[in-house]
């Protein structure tokens, strides 16, 4: 997560500049504030108006603007940020950075800053491979500048090779890594289930539930922030795939179990999905017809596999730590404690899902962590904060 982080984005003049607009949105989604500076050349590719509208703030461009300077000095601007990101970084701006030039506002800020700098290069393949660019990259790396990309692929100029801007989720992930150097879960693998499952009745109808996936997705992000390699197995939700996480989209409980099995081995599994306890016995291959005056069709339900119990079962493939969730509407601790014993998981996170609590679909949660040492109620907090605390506990347990 990037909650509270201030990122100063320098957009240089390349065809990939349009992707910086998407980058601004994704950084904001993660809780960051983004301020932007456009080089003179960048203004040929994206408009200051679009950047300003998306970043919800002024766009800095002019080194000698009396207005900007009286509101906040340029040097102060670069220093008030937690990180400066240059995306896309052209061969030209890399050369100017390496030479220590301050020939326009963007390069002045990059020279004046005392904050970390991350660069996402994007340019023609020959420009990237040119000895001059490679020497500039080596110089900048030696000075501690971080790099993400470029990637190899087909380029706008019809050539193929390294030079494409890194994908936006990868840039976000690199930013998170630079800003969150604490990575106690580096080298660990995690499976997280999230969202509802949907159980088909016929090609157009299904049984589902009210889970939004917010809690499960936040846990996947929090584990990834601590360095884990996370597979998020998600039922249908309206959420974007979290950056830096490998996402498998599924529909039914059976699909979810198969995807979890395929993601093994893992060090930890967290089952936050609201899995349907029952599926439809025989799914109609054609849409069920409503006959005039006819009786409604009878649907026979059969039990679904229990994913949490399956992952918790003793055996070589069992993750070292298996964490379930318990969705309860009464006797929270009593029912959740019994569920933990019945399913065989190590911890269970109990939450109240009665309508009054607003947990399903809401942004906050009040949970009680139940382990062999008893019940530990946590204060109500945002789902991100619950996820971060759970990820910290998982990191402690696996260390
Ligand atoms: O998605 P949100 O809107 O953010 O809401 C979050 C949440 C309320 C869905 C989440 O915090 C939560 O409580 N998830 C578990 C929901 C649930 O199915 O609880 P349960 O008590 O019915 O199941 C207990 C555990 O068994 C859960 O870990 C569940 O994932 C698992 N299970 C259940 C049935 C099944 N067939 N397979 C399972 O793995």
**Which residue is catalytic, options 157, 260, 271, 345?**
157
39's CB contacts (< 8 A; 6+ apart) are 10, 11, 12, 13, 93, 104, 106
Work out the average pLDDT over 232-245: 91
55 lines ligand 1 (CB under 6 A): no
Tens digits of residue pLDDT in 76-120: 777 789 999 999 999 999 999 999 999 999 999 999 999 999 999
Determine the distance separating the centroid of ligand 1 and the alpha carbon of 5, expressed in angstroms: 32
Q: Give the Cβ contact number of residue 185 at 10 Å.
A: 25
Of ligand 1's listed atoms, the one at least distance from the Cα of 308 is 39
In three-state secondary structure terms, 92 is: helix
Q: How far is CA 327 from the centre of its chain?
A: 24
Of ligand 1's listed atoms, the one at least distance from the Cα of 194 is 1
Determine the distance separating the centroid of ligand 1 and the alpha carbon of 349, expressed in angstroms: 10
Determine the distance separating the centroid of ligand 1 and the alpha carbon of 243, expressed in angstroms: 23
Tell me, what's the pLDDT at 347? 98
Among 317, 218, 226, CA closest to 270: 218
Determine the distance separating the centroid of ligand 1 and the alpha carbon of 275, expressed in angstroms: 6
358's CB contacts (< 8 A; 6+ apart) are 364
Give the helix/strand (H/E) hosting 369. Answer: strand 367-371
Domains in the chain (CATH in brackets) are 6-179 (3.40.50.1950), 189-398 (3.40.50.10300)
The CA distance from 86 to 366, in Å, is 39
Residue 265 CB-half CA count within 13 A: 9
Determine the distance separating the centroid of ligand 1 and the alpha carbon of 326, expressed in angstroms: 6
Residues 317-328 as b/e (b if ≥16 CB within 10 A, e otherwise) read ebbebbbbbbbb
Residue 85, beta-bridge partner list: 9, 118
pLDDT, the chain, mean: 93
163's CB contacts (< 8 A; 6+ apart) are 121, 122, 123, 124, 125, 127, 128, 150, 152, 155
The residue count of the chain comes to 399
Residue 369, beta-bridge partner list: 349, 376
Tell me, what's the pLDDT at 153? 81
304 lines ligand 1 (CB under 6 A): yes
Determine the distance separating the centroid of ligand 1 and the alpha carbon of 169, expressed in angstroms: 28
Based on C-alpha coordinates, what's the Rg of the chain? 25
Atom 17 of ligand 1, nearest CA residue:
274
217 lines ligand 1 (CB under 6 A): no
Tell me, what's the pLDDT at 225? 86
209 lines ligand 1 (CB under 6 A): no
Among 283, 208, 197, CA closest to 248: 197
347 lines ligand 1 (CB under 6 A): no
* 157 labelled catalytic: yes
What CA dihedral angle connects 250, 252, 253 and 254, to 10 degrees? -90
The CA distance from 112 to 100, in Å, is 10
Tens digits of residue pLDDT in 182-193: 789 988 999 999
* pLDDT level of residue 66 (50, 70, 90 thresholds): low
Q: Are strands 59-60 and 83-89 parallel, antiparallel or unpaired?
A: unpaired
Of ligand 1's listed atoms, the one at least distance from the Cα of 311 is 39
DSSP states along 49-73: HHHHHHHTS-EE--TT-HHHHHHS-
Q: Which two tokens stand for residue 133?
A: 């660019």
Tens digits of residue pLDDT in 179-230: 877 789 988 999 999 999 999 999 999 999 999 999 999 999 999 989 899 9
332 lines ligand 1 (CB under 6 A): no
Determine the distance separating the centroid of ligand 1 and the alpha carbon of 359, expressed in angstroms: 12
Of ligand 1's listed atoms, the one at least distance from the Cα of 212 is 3
pLDDT of residue 72 exceeding 80: no
Determine the distance separating the centroid of ligand 1 and the alpha carbon of 307, expressed in angstroms: 10
* pLDDT level of residue 71 (50, 70, 90 thresholds): low
Give the mutation target among 191, 258, 273, 279 for probing the ligand 1 site: most ligand atoms within 8 A of CB: 273
Work out the average pLDDT over 269-292: 96
Atom 37 of ligand 1, nearest CA residue:
306
Helices (H), the chain: 19-29, 48-55, 66-71, 74-79, 91-98, 105-112, 125-129, 131-142, 168-179, 214-225, 253-263, 307-312, 332-343, 383-398
Tell me, what's the pLDDT at 62? 81
Tens digits of residue pLDDT in 108-123: 999 999 999 999 999 9
8 lines ligand 1 (CB under 6 A): no
Of ligand 1's listed atoms, the one at least distance from the Cα of 324 is 28
363 lines ligand 1 (CB under 6 A): no
Atom 24 of ligand 1, nearest CA residue:
326
Atom 35 of ligand 1, nearest CA residue:
306
Of ligand 1's listed atoms, the one at least distance from the Cα of 253 is 36
């Amino acid at each position: 997560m990037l909650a509270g982080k201030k990122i100063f984005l320098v957009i240089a003049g390349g065809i990939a500049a349009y992707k910086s607009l998407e980058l601004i949105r994704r950084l904001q989604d993660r809780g960051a504030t983004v301020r932007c500076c456009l080089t003179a050349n960048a203004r040929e590719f994206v408009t200051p108006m679009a950047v300003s509208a998306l970043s919800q703030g002024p766009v800095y461009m002019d080194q000698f603007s009396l207005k900007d300077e009286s509101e906040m000095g340029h040097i102060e601007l670069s220093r008030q940020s937690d990180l400066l990101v240059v995306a896309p970084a052209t061969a030209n701006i890399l050369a100017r950075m390496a030479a220590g030039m301050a020939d326009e506002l963007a390069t002045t800020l990059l020279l004046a800053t005392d904050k970390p700098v991350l660069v996402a290069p994007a340019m023609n393949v020959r420009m990237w491979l040119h000895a001059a660019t490679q020497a500039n990259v080596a110089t900048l790396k030696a000075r501690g500048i971080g790099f993400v990309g470029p990637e190899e692929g087909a380029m706008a100029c019809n050539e193929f090779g390294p030079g494409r801007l890194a994908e936006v989720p990868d840039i976000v992930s690199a930013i998170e890594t630079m800003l969150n150097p604490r990575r106690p879960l580096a080298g660990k693998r995690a499976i997280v289930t999230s969202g509802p499952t949907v159980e088909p009745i016929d090609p157009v109808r299904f049984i589902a539930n009210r889970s939004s996936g917010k809690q499960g997705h936040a846990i996947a992000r929090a584990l990834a922030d601590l360095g884990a390699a996370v597979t998020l197995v998600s039922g249908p939700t309206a959420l974007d795939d979290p950056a830096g996480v490998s996402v498998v989209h599924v529909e039914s409980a059976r699909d979810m179990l198969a995807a979890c099995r395929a993601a093994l081995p893992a060090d930890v599994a967290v089952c936050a999905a609201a899995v349907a306890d029952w599926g439809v016995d025989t799914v109609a291959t054609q849409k069920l017809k409503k006959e005039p005056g006819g009786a409604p069709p009878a649907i026979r339900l059969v039990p679904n596999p229990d994913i949490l119990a399956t992952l918790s079962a003793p055996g070589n493939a069992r993750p070292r730590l298996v964490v379930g969730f318990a969705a309860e509407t009464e006797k929270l601790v009593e029912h959740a404690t019994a569920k933990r014993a019945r399913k065989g998981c190590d911890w269970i996170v109990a939450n109240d899902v009665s309508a009054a609590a607003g947990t399903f679909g809401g942004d906050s949660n009040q949970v009680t962590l139940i382990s062999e040492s008893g019940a530990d109620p946590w204060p109500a907090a945002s789902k991100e904060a619950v996820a971060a605390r759970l990820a910290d506990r998982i990191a402690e347990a696996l260390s």
